[in-house]
Amino acid sequence: MRDEKTTLRIEIKDESNITISEMSGVEEISLIHTKKYKKGDKVCFTNLSGNKYLVINIDNELSEALIYVPGNMLEFSIPFGDDSIPYSLCAFKGSNHTIDMRIATNEEIYCYRNLAKNVMDKGCNTTYYPHVTENIETGNEAIFAARNTIDGKTNNQGHGVWPYESWGTGQREDAELLLNFGRDVEVDKIVLYLRADFPHDTYWNDITIVFSDGTQKNVRPIKTSDAQSIEFEKKRISWVKLMDFKMADEPSQIAALTEIEVYGIDISGDKKNSDIFN
């Protein structure tokens, strides 16, 4: 049985917070915006359904994002200038934009999946998860920002331009990368893609992974462009942190992370979406 009170809304607002395009509906909506974006434009999503998991496709050029939204609203600022470099050259360009929004199904939410992926993540404080932050950003450039490590792109044999966006420690020993899920999840595997633009790059041969439950794991990556998997007993956590990056003894002094994937399941709780999709 469907809940007719479910309400979703997408609005595009300009830098003066004036709505220039909008669409609303029940359970699943799509907004077609036929104007070029201008600097300061943002996409505002409202979810009054009580269901905290949404699937959003913010642009034709990007994949869907299954995100956890504790509140009723979220905003996504359209990237311009340096902020647009980590995205496809065609993303957010032109005068024909499709933005999709729907409530996630239980099958999508509670299956075993990569819980870290969020192509919509931003460097600023956000109201949706997963969200990654760092205490180091190489050159304060978007192409090396932390959000690049959870955007779903694993191309790692280049650097400095899309699709080789990445995050590095700037050779600082105190560098940390924190991935926040925004709620408790159960995980048992982490996959790392180290940037492998050799010989420009070197690699880390020692990294410490810290979990919100107080445990930690030391890992020893190798020099490869392949995915490197770290498996462990199931843990119930709300965040995971990478720290204590140690570089291999090589001529290059530059190492970077292309992608982190964290596999597990969402903890079902009362499965608030079940009434809608039964």
Domain locations in the chain? 8-112, 114-266
CA–CA separation, 154 and 147 (whole Å): 13
pLDDT digits (tens, 9 = 90+) for 125-170: 789 999 999 998 777 899 999 999 999 999 999 999 999 999 999 8
- Domain at 114-266: CATH code: 2.60.120.260
- Average confidence (pLDDT) over 208-237: 98
Q: What is the pTM of this model?
A: 0.93
**Amino acid code (one letter) for 253:** Q
**Average pLDDT score over the chain:** 93
- Rounded to the nearest 5 degrees, what angle is found at the Cα of 218, between the Cα atoms of 216 and 220? 155
SS3 at position 277: helix
Half-sphere exposure of 232 (CA within 13 A, CB side): 18
